[in-house]
């Protein structure tokens, strides 16, 4: 979602333990202290002339004595590869004289044009080797405008507005053969162990893992029971299936480390984008179908099954087609070589297994989602207005024959229940994601506790969908009959059922011929009867 992918805490701790076991000094660089070194309180005095070294600048190693931490004495910059080596095909390889590669120099500023200025060789002590962190991303100023960077005199990596990107021990610089041996920065991704939100991030991952079996169970129930496989059921199955793929891919992303091939990282990013967008398009389909039903538009010709089959084909073309179109555009913007320099590329795999910039995330992900959520909201508002109007008109008929009043009550209850069913789904997914978009736009501003609540709600969507669409009396009864017909969980009244069927059948006829505010949801009495059973709690 909008947050950086979570790191895996145990792996991170193991990496850090190994790093400090080799050398206790920061950046693992030290040098023996002069022989005349001596300690006064916590200060080490050494050299000719004598110089004081605070506790952070030296260490005491048993059997060795005092050592000075090089990068505490003066500024250091880390070079990713060994001396006289560079990145060739994403790996550090020795350079030959025939390569004619310029000498490695620490840049003061790197922008789209390349190196603007460099430091004198004596300014920094060069440390060789990549930083010890689980995840890293690359800054490519020639490709992404937001990736312009500079190195401060103290060895910190900054952006053009002088905001800190990384501390000296959290990045390295190296020349890359695929960009004419231009110097780029490899930066450690933010890690949860350094953030007070680490425990919350773990809860997010656990929440998504908890949602998976509930999503799968919801899909399985609707796939097994034929009576649930109407237009509403098929649309819900598509919605749940896309969420299942999205959550599975997102969980895999959480545990990806640098050892994973970049192509797999990019593939997972496309999968997460496609599946989440598809889930929102299918939510939009269900909201549209509800609005269409309440609007009283004339249905397609044919009987009920043919009518729903045609609508499902149209809805499938819309949902899968629009999602595929956005994914194709995203892929084209990533892969096409001859695009204007200002074009917004997705940047999958550059910094993480997700978009490389906020502008790309807005254009290819949050923008379409926000548009769909807004259209869903407008359709719900219009539907609610029509329900209020229908209820107001129904009150006028209360003075007429009692049977007609019963028929209107039955029909109104069916329509209102369907509205409430989808309203719950919209609240579960729509409102939570709307807050997600707002929190992404505000960044660190705003009430953090509210973002935590909505994020956890997003992670537990599978559980909430299961409670809304499976934990209903009719669905559980059908499931009981399908799996274990000998065991009757719910008692049913034949008299009540016959009365309801008869009443609803007459309702369809009366409404079709006499009702001044026709809410045409089916073309026959059988369709209204089916509707009652499909959406009855």
Q: Does the predicted TM-score (pTM) go above 0.85? A: no
State pLDDT tens for residues 273-326: 999 999 999 989 988 887 887 776 555 455 667 888 899 999 999 999 999 999
- List the one residue out of 520, 529, 429, 528 whose CA is nearest residue 469: 429
Claim to verify: residue 120 and residue 232 sit in the same structural domain = no
- Over the stretch 482-521, which tens digit does the pLDDT of each residue have? 887 777 666 654 444 444 444 444 444 443 343 333 333 3
209 and 149 housed in the same domain: no
Tell how strand 125-128 and strand 171-176 pair up.
unpaired
Residues 430 and 444 in one domain: yes
Identify whether residues 356 and 443 lie together within a single domain. yes
- Do 165 and 229 fall within a single domain? no
Structure tokens at 311: 């609508």
In a domain, 25, yes or no: no
Q: Are residues 59 and 81 in the same domain?
A: no
Domain contains 390: yes
User: Across the strands, what pairs with 173?
Assistant: 79, 185
Distance CA 329, CA 154 (A): 43
What are all long-range contacts of 298-304, with beta carbons under 8 Å and residues at least 24 apart?
Answer: 298/520, 299/520, 299/522, 299/523, 303/523, 303/524, 304/522, 304/523, 304/524, 304/526, 304/527, 304/530
d(CA 476, CA 124): 70
Are 292 and 328 within one domain? yes
Between CA 199 and CA 209, with CA 204 as vertex, the angle to 5 degrees is 125
> For 296-366, where are the alpha helices, taking DSSP H only?
304-335, 358-361
Look at residue 438 and tell me if it is in a domain: yes
| Domain contains 152 | yes
The per-residue pLDDT for range 79-122, each reduced to its tens digit, is: 999 988 998 887 898 888 776 788 889 999 998 888 888 999 88
Please list, in sequence order, all residues whose beta carbon lies within 8 angstroms of the beta carbon of residue 148, skipping any fewer than 6 positions away.
109, 110, 111, 112, 141, 159, 160
Inter-residue long-range contacts of 53-58, CB under 8 Å, 24+ positions, other chains counted: 58/33
- Please check whether residue 252 lies inside any domain of the structure: yes
User: Do 101 and 168 share a domain, yes or no?
Assistant: yes
5 in a domain, yes or no? Answer: no
Q: Does residue 345 sit in the same domain as residue 452?
A: yes
For position 130, which CATH number holds?
A: 2.170.180.11
Contact, 121 vs 106, CB < 8 A? no
For residue 392 the two structure tokens come to 């107001």
Using a 10 angstrom Cβ sphere, with 0-12 exposed, 13-18 middle and 19 or more buried, the burial of residue 299 is middle
* 291 shares a domain with 217: yes
Query: pLDDT 10s digit of each residue in the chain, 537 long?
Result: 334 333 322 222 233 333 333 457 878 788 888 888 888 877 888 888 888 888 878 888 877 788 888 888 889 999 999 988 998 887 898 888 776 788 889 999 998 888 888 999 888 999 998 888 877 888 988 888 788 899 988 899 998 878 888 888 889 999 988 788 889 999 988 654 344 444 556 777 888 899 999 999 999 999 999 888 888 889 999 999 999 999 999 888 777 644 455 667 788 899 999 999 999 999 899 888 878 877 765 554 556 678 888 999 999 999 999 999 999 999 999 888 777 767 888 888 766 778 877 888 889 998 999 899 889 888 888 887 877 777 676 665 555 554 555 555 555 565 566 566 666 666 766 666 666 666 666 654 555 666 667 777 778 888 888 988 888 888 888 888 888 777 766 665 444 444 444 444 444 444 334 333 333 333 333 443 444 344 343
Asked if residue 505 is part of any domain, the answer here is: no
Residues 66, 80 within the same domain: no
Residue 167 included in any domain:
yes
Residue range(s) defining the domain that contains residue 51: 30-72
> How many domains is the chain partitioned into structurally?
3
> In the numeric block, which tokens belong to residue 124?
């920094």
Question: Does residue 279 sit in the same domain as residue 250?
Answer: yes
């Amino acid at each position: 979602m909008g947050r950086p992918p979570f790191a895996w805490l145990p792996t991170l701790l193991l990496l850090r333990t190994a790093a400090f076991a080799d050398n206790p000094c920061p950046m693992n660089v030290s040098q023996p202290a002069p022989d005349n070194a001596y300690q006064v309180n916590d200060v080490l005095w050494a050299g000719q002339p004598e110089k004081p070294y605070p506790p952070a600048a030296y260490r005491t190693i048993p059997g060795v004595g005092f050592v000075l931490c090089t990068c505490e004495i003066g500024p250091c910059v880390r070079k990713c590869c060994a001396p006289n080596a560079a990145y060739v095909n994403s790996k550090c390889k020795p350079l030959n004289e025939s390569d004619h590669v310029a000498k490695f120099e620490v840049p003061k500023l790197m922008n789209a044009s390349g190196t603007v200025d460099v430091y004198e060789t004596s300014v920094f002590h060069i440390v060789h080797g990549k930083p010890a962190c689980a995840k890293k991303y690359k800054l490519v100023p020639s490709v992404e405008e937001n990736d312009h960077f500079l190195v401060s005199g103290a060895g910190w990596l900054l952006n053009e507005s002088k905001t800190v990107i990384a501390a000296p021990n959290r990045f390295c610089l190296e020349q890359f053969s695929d960009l004419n041996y231009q110097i780029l920065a490899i930066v450690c991704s933010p890690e949860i162990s350094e953030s007070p939100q680490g425990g919350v991030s773990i809860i997010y991952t656990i929440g998504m893992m908890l949602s998976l079996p509930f999503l799968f169970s919801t899909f399985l129930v609707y796939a097994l029971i034929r009576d649930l496989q109407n237009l509403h059921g098929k649309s819900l199955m598509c919605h749940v299936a896309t969420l299942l793929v999205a959550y599975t891919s997102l969980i895999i992303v959480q545990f990806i480390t640098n050892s994973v091939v970049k192509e797999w990282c990019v593939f997972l990013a496309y999968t997460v984008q496609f599946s989440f967008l598809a889930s929102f398009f299918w939510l939009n389909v269900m909201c549209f179908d509800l609005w269409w039903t309440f609007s009283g538009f004339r249905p397609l010709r044919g009987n009920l099954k043919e009518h729903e089959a045609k609508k499902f084909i149209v809805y499938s073309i819309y949902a899968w087609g629009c999602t595929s179109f956005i994914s194709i555009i995203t892929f084209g913007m990533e892969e096409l070589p001859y695009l204007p320099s200002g074009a917004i590329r997705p940047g999958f795999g550059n910094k993480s297994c997700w978009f490389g910039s906020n502008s790309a995330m807005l254009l290819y992900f949050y923008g379409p989602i926000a548009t769909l959520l807004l259209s869903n909201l407008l359709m719900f508002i219009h539907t609610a207005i029509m329900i209020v109007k229908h209820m107001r008109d129904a009150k006028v008929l209360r003075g007429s024959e009692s049977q007609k009043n019963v028929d209107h009550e039955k029909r109104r209850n069916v329509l209102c229940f369907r509205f409430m069913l989808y309203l719950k789904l919209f609240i579960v997914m729509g409102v939570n994601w709307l807050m997600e978009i707002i929190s992404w736009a505000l960044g660190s501003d705003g009430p953090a506790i509210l973002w935590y609540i909505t994020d956890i709600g997003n992670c537990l969507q599978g559980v909430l969908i299961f409670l809304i669409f499976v934990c209903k009396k009719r669905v559980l009864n059908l499931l009981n009959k399908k799996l274990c017909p000998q065991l009757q969980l719910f008692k049913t009244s034949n008299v009540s059922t016959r009365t309801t069927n008869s009443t609803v059948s007459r309702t369809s006829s009366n409404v079709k011929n006499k009702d001044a505010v026709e809410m045409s949801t089916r073309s026959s009495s059988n369709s209204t009867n089916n509707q009652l059973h499909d959406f009855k709690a």
